[in-house]
Amino acid sequence: MDSTMQDFPLTVAGILRHGTTWHSSRRVITKLPDGYRETSYGELGTRAAQLAHGLRQLGVSDSVRVATFMWNNQEHLEAYFAAPAMGAVLHTLNIRLAAEQIAYIANHAEDSVVLVDMSVVPLLAPILPEMKTVHTVVAVGEGDVDALTSSGKNVVRYDELLDGQPIEYDWPDVDEKSAAAMCYTSGTTGNPKGVAYSHRSTYLHSMAVCTANAIGLADGDRVLPIVPMFHANAWGQPYSALMAGADLLMPDRFLQAEPLVAMIEQQRPTVAAAVPTIWNDVLQYLNANPGRDVSSLRFVACGGSAVSLKMMKEFETKFGVRICQGWGMTETAPLAAVATPPPEVNEAEHWALRSTAGRVLCGVEIRIADDDGNVLPSDGKAVGEIEVRGPWITGFYYENADPSKFHDGWLRTGDVGRIDPQGFITLTDRAKDVIKSGGEWISSVELELSIMEHPAVLEAAVVGVPDERWQERPLAAVVVKKDSSATAEELRKHLCDKVARFWLPERWTFIDEVPKTSVGKFDKKLIRSRYADAAYDVVECRD
Amino acid sequence: MDSTMQDFPLTVAGILRHGTTWHSSRRVITKLPDGYRETSYGELGTRAAQLAHGLRQLGVSDSVRVATFMWNNQEHLEAYFAAPAMGAVLHTLNIRLAAEQIAYIANHAEDSVVLVDMSVVPLLAPILPEMKTVHTVVAVGEGDVDALTSSGKNVVRYDELLDGQPIEYDWPDVDEKSAAAMCYTSGTTGNPKGVAYSHRSTYLHSMAVCTANAIGLADGDRVLPIVPMFHANAWGQPYSALMAGADLLMPDRFLQAEPLVAMIEQQRPTVAAAVPTIWNDVLQYLNANPGRDVSSLRFVACGGSAVSLKMMKEFETKFGVRICQGWGMTETAPLAAVATPPPEVNEAEHWALRSTAGRVLCGVEIRIADDDGNVLPSDGKAVGEIEVRGPWITGFYYENADPSKFHDGWLRTGDVGRIDPQGFITLTDRAKDVIKSGGEWISSVELELSIMEHPAVLEAAVVGVPDERWQERPLAAVVVKKDSSATAEELRKHLCDKVARFWLPERWTFIDEVPKTSVGKFDKKLIRSRYADAAYDVVECRD
């Protein structure tokens, strides 16, 4: 039986209309080298309309990809709304990737126009000639555009593009399942893979962020998205803020602890989001500079890698700021889980749950599966690869037929862990790093943490290496502290009461430093290949 | 360009899975004459599955209408989930309607099975023979079912229907745009009209209720839905509670102030919802019985008719309870607006905004239009009929081709009022009661309120009556207090500085009592017909 409800689509234009109409006096504040510049949501609506008219003059029509190569600022926000609302597709390029990756991504997505902040022109200019489908570059900000024009592309200044354009745009009715925005994942293996968010997924994800079990973004909140707008929609906050009527505080390129703390003191955000590294820097800065006040923050979303309990407790007790872990990835729009414990638990349980990656949000269905695709119980004990499905979860990659990341309609996240009966997720490994020993899984991360609890150990990385009998066994690569010493036997004994007996590594190597990737994570691929090349001195140690 | 996101439907089964899996220990508590009975969300999931199996044995399949004739209790909640999740359609019958209306509605909807609380069997039994399409009655609770069996229908007991059924049900994939639940509006004119909510509209409305700008329902909240589950989904709270992980406290038929206050003290709800009459009764009871504690309530949603500022202030200052107005109707699922002022306004502005009907929620688009369908500005001054559109707004009525309630894809709400630039709605009239005088609109409600400010006036109703020159002019029907007196001249003078000059009524009648409808509203239709029949002594009074 059909319902009698209106067939009304969920679109980015709907969010834009709501925010710019009913919250027209809310602010967008962008950090400058010295001070800030401001506009209102009303003005944002006007300028988004002008940008859409300008883009249309540049030949942008339905489904055309409009790329951005920008920091978090007002113009990036204008593009966030104008491109999807006019029926085009916003494509946020990650300015931190290697040049060849950026070129590959722009070509794969067939970007047509690129908006670029003048401050990152030196990064883009050398790549432009490789961007085959890009015909026009829009320069945002003041300064010399010679480096762009020499690429042979058409170059337009952003302000001139908007100047004199009509201040209203008749946003078209778009199919809610059509693409609104694209983002590529930068996996450590293979080419980057593209995700195309729909209007529907963007709308639903934004609503989810506004629910009380997620971030509960509300009218009058002031949001500071430190996580870049080129990373999975800045965790959806630009869209959620317009939905809620929350001010947006844009840090632009000023992402060091000192300007961030100054911005927090001066602009008094209530909500912020960033990766743990940034909050670690902020914490160190606050400790080194007593008397600074960041207490306006009621909720700080933190994710991307594990957040230490120590940091969360220190922020909460010393600075009155709740840091809350969230879990997700580009493929999940990104928010899929938030680590908010139920109000009735005791303090120990509270912190144990705060230490998890998060609790699954309504709208995301979650399960774990073993290597053979068997679904395992969410009992807080079984460990498997986490799989998710739902209306803001990726179903396939753009122009990529590889089905290996999907399982019966569920996304295989590549994260390995446990789910407790209340939906709290504990991550134990990345799927590619888990050690498969005789049909059982060993968590490389948990082994590392246990080894690093030994007082003589500075760092330890554990990887799986081939083993004739067990298929794979752990290799522990350990960095001992200066003026300390530890033998393999000692470390193995140290682990005895911490992990299961079959987890105990037989192979140990003592190295000067754990090799790291460009973003500071342990480079386990390199460790495995060095082991294969016999580049390490390996100590064998068994009982 | 297509997106790459999963084509994942928004369904009632999705809400059920979330609530019963990840919030399985949350409670459903139902009031008994003496005490309470309890179950968990986990058990709710089990029993909903058993009910679905039982209903299937009764011949219920896709799209079949399963009616309920029930109070707010655990079994009603089980039906709320089981019927839609199995692909059938839940149809909540309003037990307070006249017998012939209930029969009309059940026949129009073609209900197949009716679930009935034993406590309301005396209301249903006499109507059952008129319910042509109903073949089976399911009796909920203990007691004699003779009154039901004598109707000739198949009669089954609820517990026996569930007994021994499998505790899991493979909820089918349903189209999110198919009907999940039906509800009929009981207009004062014409036959009741049916609204069929979709799975999609139910899901989106439930999410909206969980957003911080609406009710912000969260894990650990305890919700007391006093508004009946046969009124527009109890304002969506049964579904939102499972989405959020909030306990549900069900008052069953114990809706008087005394048992409600006892339930609030014993069960400590954080959120409740009811019409103003109930809260007025509760307030009087609290004032008459000092020392009662209702301070567990952090947010009380109130709507259906205007809430007095005095009551809101008294609840807040004396009892620590925030009463918040909401606006909506059966056709809007129902929540469309909530009167939460921005945090930065001063106290006077705060209370002025609290006195409005509410501020429009993201997801609902709103505007006002004049008689000719011209859209008027939302400037807080222009008055027109309020029109809404959006994914949880009705687009047409079930098996009813009348297009008069719709305008270019917008629902004409029948409410007349103003919208301010921030989206706060002030209601001035029902469209059928507004007085159209020489092309201008006069608010009958505002005239009534102004007349009732006169110390000698007990009640006053104002209706439009035919006028040769102006098409319509106001007639004021006034009830003077015992031992008081007032003339038409005095009252007209009293109005002079309160309303526009052209609003001043020339026609006055003094009556003993304002005629009222069955739900206690002024019966303006009857007043108009009595005037037409010259049943009133009318005093003419002009300057």
β partners of residue A184: A194
Q: Given pLDDT bands bounded at 50, 70 and 90, which one contains residue B206?
A: very high
Q: How far is CA A435 from CA A323, A502, A535, in A?
A: 31, 12, 21
Q: How many CB atoms lie within 10 A of CB B301?
A: 26
From the CA of B59, how many Å to the nearest CA of chain A? 16
List the strands of the sheet with A539-540, edge to edge. Answer: A457-467, A471-480, A507-510, A539-540
Q: Closest Cα partner for A186 from A292, A304, A279?
A: A304
Given the residues A441, A470, A503, A508, the one annotated as active site? A441
Mutant choice from B2, B5, B110 vs A, greatest count of A C-beta within 10 A: B5
Pair type for strands A365-369 and A335-338 = unpaired
Least confident among A509-523, B229-243, B358-372: A509-523
What's the pLDDT tens digit per position in A377-388? Answer: 999 999 999 999
Rounded distance, CA B274 to CA B233, Å? Answer: 12
Instruction: Please report, for chain A, the start and end positions of each structural domain, with discontinuous segments joined by +.
Output: 435-540
- Is residue B185 among the annotated active site residues? yes
Q: Closest Cα partner for B355 from B291, B449, B480, B263?
A: B449
What's the pLDDT tens digit per position in B305-362? Answer: 888 899 999 999 999 999 999 999 999 999 999 999 999 999 999 999 999 999 999 9
Q: With a cut of 90, say whether residue B516 has pLDDT above it.
A: no
Architecture of domain B435-540: 2-Layer Sandwich (3.30)
What's the pLDDT tens digit per position in B88-137? Answer: 999 999 999 989 999 999 999 999 999 999 999 999 999 999 999 999 99
Q: What is the mean pLDDT of residues B399-426?
A: 95
Output the pLDDT for position B406: 96
Q: Using the beta-carbon criterion (under 8 Å), do B5 and A340 form an inter-chain contact?
A: no
Instruction: Yes or no: say if A305 and A275 are a contact pair by the CB < 8 Å rule.
Output: yes
Mean of pLDDT over chain B: 95
Rounded distance, CA B148 to CA A71, Å? Answer: 70
Q: How many CB atoms lie within 10 A of CB A402?
A: 10
Residues of A in contact with B396 (CB under 8 A): 4
| ipTM for the whole complex | 0.94
Residues of A in contact with B15 (CB under 8 A): 362
Which residues have CB under 8 Å from A143's CB, separation 6+? Answer: A118, A121
Give every residue of chain A whose pLDDT is below 70, as ranges.
187-189, 519
Output the pLDDT for position A305: 80
The token pair that represents B150 in the structure block: 């004598």
Output the pLDDT for position A78: 98
Q: With a cut of 80, say whether residue B518 has pLDDT above it.
A: no
* Partner residue facing A211 (CB), from B10, B207, B423: B207
Output the pLDDT for position A189: 65
Rounded distance, CA B48 to CA B173, Å? Answer: 17
- When computed from its CA atoms, the radius of gyration of chain A, rounded to whole angstroms, is 24
Output the pLDDT for position B191: 86
Q: What percentage of chain B carries pLDDT values higher than 90?
A: 91
List the strands of the sheet with B457-467, edge to edge. Answer: B457-467, B471-480, B507-510, B538-540
Rounded distance, CA A148 to CA A432, Å? Answer: 40
Output the pLDDT for position B253: 97
Output the pLDDT for position A77: 98
Residues of B in contact with A360 (CB under 8 A): 22
From the CA of B220, how many Å to the nearest CA of chain A? 6
Q: With a cut of 90, say whether residue B219 has pLDDT above it.
A: yes
Give the residue on B whose Cα is nearest the Cα of A19.
Answer: B362
Q: Given pLDDT bands bounded at 50, 70 and 90, which one contains residue B189?
A: low
Rounded distance, CA A191 to CA A185, Å? Answer: 9
β partners of residue B326: B338
The 3-state DSSP class for residue B299 equals strand
Output the pLDDT for position B187: 64
Mutant choice from A362, A379, A393 vs B, greatest count of B C-beta within 10 A: A362
- Is residue A331 among the annotated active site residues? yes
- Is residue A185 among the annotated active site residues? yes
Output the pLDDT for position B169: 98
